[in-house]
Each structure stands twice: as structure tokens, then as C-alpha cells.
Homo-oligomer: A and B are copies of this chain.
Amino acid sequence: MSHKMPKGPDFFVRHRMLLEQAEAATEHRDHWTPYPESPSKSLYGEDAAERGEAAFRSRINARFELPGHPRDGWVASGETSPYGFPLGVIYPRITPDVAVAAAKEAVPAWRGAGPDVRAGVAAEILARLNAASFEIAHAVQHTTGQAFVMAFQAGGPHAQDRGLEAVAYAWSEQKRHPASARWRKPQRKGGPLVMDKRFTPVGRGVSLLIACNTFPTWNSYPGLFASLVTGNPVVVKPHPGAVLPLAITVRIAREVLAEAGFDPNLVVLVAEEPGDRSAGFLALHPDVRIIDFTGSTEFGDWLEANARQAVVYTEKAGLNTVVLDSTDDYQGLLGNLAFSLALYSGQMCTTPQNLLIPREGMATDQGVRTADEFAADLAAALDRLLADPARAVGTLGALVNDGVRERLTQAEQLGRTVREAVRVEHPEYPAAEVRTPLVARLDAEADQKTYAREWFGPVFFVVGTDSTEHSLRIFEETVRTHGALTAIVHSTSEEVLKTAEEAALDAGVHLAENLTGGVFVNQSAAFSDFHGSAANPAASATLSDPAFVTGRFATLQSRRPVTVEEPAHV
């Protein structure tokens, strides 16, 4: 490359073994993670928790400084903690045009650095994000409403896992072809034709990350790191309700980039006030060539239809489905399902919504349970799980925003409630809006319009069907039409499981089976489980796989004849 390599610490050498392990993990798909999920002192250090909380507190009601970041003023995002207080953070203001131009200018040296250097820088960013997990956890808790331990895990180490996974795929795919090769074509007469060829991975262009309110880091890190490692600068556009976790992320990324000798504007933050429309402007900018989006089906569809100059990776809404046929562990099923529904008040894109069960019931180790009986049993299991308010808030978290609250009110007005969503007093944050799940009892035929749309939040439908066959048909049709990120079937029959697996392949959704223990359908493990399938309307991306990274770069080739070939080195 003609670009002079920037000077700085050799992060690739530092992290090479980690990268190789991560790449191997994507191939083996056993459990693997370098970032401990437990917020324990023995793992993160004696005072990590305290320092993280102090760092978070110091950000409240203050300007968030990003050294060297372009800025034409300051903007208040208006973030409010779902636990009941305004964050009052002020961020640099920047117009879409300036953001894209600054990002674009940073490209040449980054392109010249090559995949190894880029992967090394990314791994260092992740190491520092991991060290900041407590600070990020508080920022995630107070923008999303997640309970602290979940905010730590999903916002910290699990998000970092997904980031590293994207780094591994991006690094691996760029190494799929050699940096150079010698081509020798034998000729009938005389010596061979000989050419030297060079292959250079080149990023597609400025990458735009449009993040969501509920998982600002977890859903963003794959796109952020996939783009960065494939040679693209990234403009980060957080949801106005959850800026802080990504501002901290951007700050750390810029620090590492600058230390490594690169232009920190390879990662730029566009914070906005609620009601600003910068996402739409950014998405149509001709220099924006990659978009990662998590959010509503409406805006995701708009992006896919209008941002034609870019490759667009979306995660939108869906109808996550449970098919209940039979079980030999009914209590395990109820406990597992109750926790899946209660966790973060159903505000996960992976939480099941529609529970399909034959009206006449499912066979269990405690006898046949009709659809009505199952709905009552599930309600009771939720009551048991959430009986103690102090423990309940640790599972439920708080409702993220008014949209979820309004949807809950709508669900109540359906008049089919089996279990009410009751308010839980948070011992620490009395103003927090904490609600338990609402379970309603619907019918497959009569209520099709109700359950065939997403009710994001703690709203769950026990849907009575004619039979398991009928349930599987509804499952396949609704998921193929409306999408889903997860699905689960409970059956003791190998034949039903096989049929469900075929239905899931037809519908294009990943399937979990017979979860009754400590693994939950709404949780996926990086390096082993795919998140999203890109095979149904809920998502055009998986986080991550090769398809998630190959569209972000091209391998450009140059070739020149070798006139006098030196003898091969022996």
C-alpha cells in the first residue's frame, strides 16, 4: 500500500490468539466467550462495580465530551430513565452531511491498514468496552429499563461477544483470498504465462448504524464491528431514548483508533433530539453505502425501499411462536416459559408472543391440560415467579417507553385477559413503571387479526387451535408472512418434532425444542446460535454469519506480468 502505516501499539499482535480462537469458535459452535457474564469482583476487579457506577453518575447532567469529534453545538437527547429520572446528558451536535464527510475522510489510511490491523484495533476496542461493562450496564439500565444484572450481561459481555463474533467473521472472510498470488499458465510452446496478482479488500463506503431503544449495544455491536473491520467508517445514530450506552462506546472506539494512529472520525456519533429526523436524511445520503437498523417494521421497510444506494441489514418485528403439543415435564415447561415471558417484561425481540395449543389440550406428565387449563397454569406460574416484588423487579425491569404502556392498555381492552398486568412497586425506584405480564386467551379462527400482529411488550396470547397440526400450520403461515426471530415447540413425539423442524425450515425461522431448564428461547449464545435467519420478514440479517459481512467489502484485484521469473524459494 502506498499509505504510510500509522504508528501505534500493535493491537493485532496483542489480540491475535483471541481472534484465532473466535474464528475457530464460529466454526465449532460450542459454548465460547472471552468476556465473563457474571458481574463479580473476582472477574472484573474489586472496585470495578463502584468505579463503573461513579463513571455513570459523573455523566448525568453533564456534557459528554468526545475529543476531536466534529461539532457545531450541543444537543440534549432528553433521555429519561424508565426508573424515573431524567439523565440530562448533553451531546455534541452534528449535521448528517458533516458526519458523513468526516467519516469518509478517515477512510484511506484505514483501507491501507488491511484486515489484520483493523481486526486488532477492533479487538482492543472490545477489550476496553469489556473493562467498562459496569459503566455501560448502568447506562443501559437507565435508558432501556432492563434490570441491572440483565443490563450488565446483555449490554456488556453478551454484546461484546456479538461484536467479537462479527469481528471474527469479517476478519475471516477478508482472508478467504490471499493478499497475493502467482499465476502460471502452461503454454503449448515455451515457458508458462506468469502473472503476479494482488487482492485488496476494500470497504463499500460509509456505514450507518441506526440503533434501537431496548438493546442499544447488543443489537448495534455486530454491524458496528462488521463494518469497521471490513474497512468502513461508521456513523452511529442512537435512538434518542438510548444515546448514552452508544456514546460511551463511540468514545472508547475513538480513543483506541487515535492511539493506533488512525483518524478517530472512523466512528462518529450523531445524537439527536426526539423528533429530529436525521436517520432518514443519513439513510439517503449518497455516500452512505451500508445501513444496519434495528427497530420498527415500518421504518425498516422504508429503508429497504428507499435507501437504494446502500446494502441494508434490518431487524424488525415478528411473531415469535410457541407450539404446545405434549411434554413429560409440565412444571419445567411452565417455569421455563414463565421466565421467558417475564424477562424484561417481554420487551425482547426474541420473546414469544403467540402460544398455540389445541383447545382440547396437550398431553403432560400431569394429565391432559386443555387450552383454558394451560392458560390458568401459566398465569399461576407467573404469579409464583413474581410473588416477591424485590425479586420480581430484577426479572421484569421497567417498561421502556409510552408505546409499551399504551399497548398494554389496548390489550386489556380486548377483554380476554386471563392474567392481569399488575403494577409492581420498585423498592429502590418508586417512580419506575414495572408491570407483570398480561396473558389473554384467544381463538385461532376468531382472533386471527389480533394475534397476527406484534404486541411488543408484556402481552401474551394463549391461542386455542383444532390440533397440533393446525398449530403448526398457523405457525408456518404467520411466520412466513409476518416474520419471527424465535420459535419453540414442546412435544414428546419425535414425529411431531420432525414435522415442526420442517415447518420451521419452510417458515425460515430457528427452532428451539422442549426447553424446560436453564436455557430460554429468548436468549441466544454468540458463536453458537444465530440471531435472526434472514429467511423471513423479521430480519434481513443474522448477527452474525458470512452473509452479514460479505456485502460490506469487495476484493479488488491488480495483476501484472512477471517477465523474468526468479526460481522458487526452496
Question: Which A residues have a C-beta under 8 Å from some C-beta of B?
Answer: 2, 26-31, 38, 111, 173, 176-178, 181-188, 192-193, 195, 197-200, 202, 204, 304-305, 308, 497-499, 501-502, 504-505, 508-519, 525, 528-530, 533-535, 542, 545-547, 550-551, 554-561
Bound: A304/B312 CA distance, A:
14
Bound: A202/B501 CA distance, A:
12
Please determine whether A183 and B510 come into contact, CB atoms closer than 8 angstroms: no
Q: Please, which residue of chain B has its CB at the minimum distance from the CB of A550?
A: B547
Please determine whether B28 and A185 come into contact, CB atoms closer than 8 angstroms: no
Instruction: Out of B511, B525, B530, B558, name the residue touching A185 (CB < 8 Å).
Output: B525
- List the B side residues contacting A193 at CB < 8 Å: 517-519
Please determine whether A181 and B519 come into contact, CB atoms closer than 8 angstroms: no
Number of copies: 2
Bound: A183/B31 CA distance, A:
5
- List the B side residues contacting A515 at CB < 8 Å: 561
- List the B side residues contacting A519 at CB < 8 Å: 193, 195, 559, 561
Q: Please, which residue of chain B has its CB at the minimum distance from the CB of A517?
A: B561
Q: Please, which residue of chain B has its CB at the minimum distance from the CB of A533?
A: B554
Instruction: Out of B111, B197, B542, B550, name the residue touching A505 (CB < 8 Å).
Output: B111
Q: Please, which residue of chain B has its CB at the minimum distance from the CB of A107?
A: B506
Please determine whether A30 and B183 come into contact, CB atoms closer than 8 angstroms: yes
Instruction: Out of B26, B525, B542, B560, name the residue touching A513 (CB < 8 Å).
Output: B560
The smallest beta-carbon distance between A411 and chain B, in angstroms, is: 30
- List, sorted by A's number, 14 A–B pairs whose CB atoms are closer than 8 Å: A26-B177, A29-B177, A30-B181, A31-B185, A38-B188, A173-B546, A198-B501, A304-B308, A511-B559, A514-B560, A529-B559, A535-B556, A545-B555, A547-B554
Interface core residue of A198, A546, A554 (most chain B CB under 10 Å):
A554
Known: A183-B525, A518-B187, A528-B183. A28 touches B178 (CB 8 A): yes
Please determine whether A510 and B558 come into contact, CB atoms closer than 8 angstroms: yes
Bound: A556/B499 CA distance, A:
15
Bound: A313/B514 CA distance, A:
40
Q: Please, which residue of chain B has its CB at the minimum distance from the CB of A33?
A: B185
Please determine whether A182 and B545 come into contact, CB atoms closer than 8 angstroms: no
Bound: A519/B177 CA distance, A:
22
Contacts A504-B558, A512-B558, A533-B555 given; 5 further ones with Cβ under 8 A?
A2-B502, A27-B178, A519-B561, A546-B550, A547-B551
The smallest beta-carbon distance between A400 and chain B, in angstroms, is: 28
- List the B side residues contacting A202 at CB < 8 Å: 505, 508, 535
Please determine whether A508 and B176 come into contact, CB atoms closer than 8 angstroms: no
Instruction: Out of B26, B305, B499, B535, name the residue touching A204 (CB < 8 Å).
Output: B535
Q: Please, which residue of chain B has its CB at the minimum distance from the CB of A495?
A: B2
Known: A182-B30, A193-B519. A556 touches B509 (CB 8 A): yes
Interface core residue of A178, A200, A546 (most chain B CB under 10 Å):
A546
The smallest beta-carbon distance between A178 and chain B, in angstroms, is: 6
The smallest beta-carbon distance between A538 and chain B, in angstroms, is: 12
The smallest beta-carbon distance between A502 and chain B, in angstroms, is: 6
Please determine whether B514 and A181 come into contact, CB atoms closer than 8 angstroms: no
- List the B side residues contacting A498 at CB < 8 Å: 2
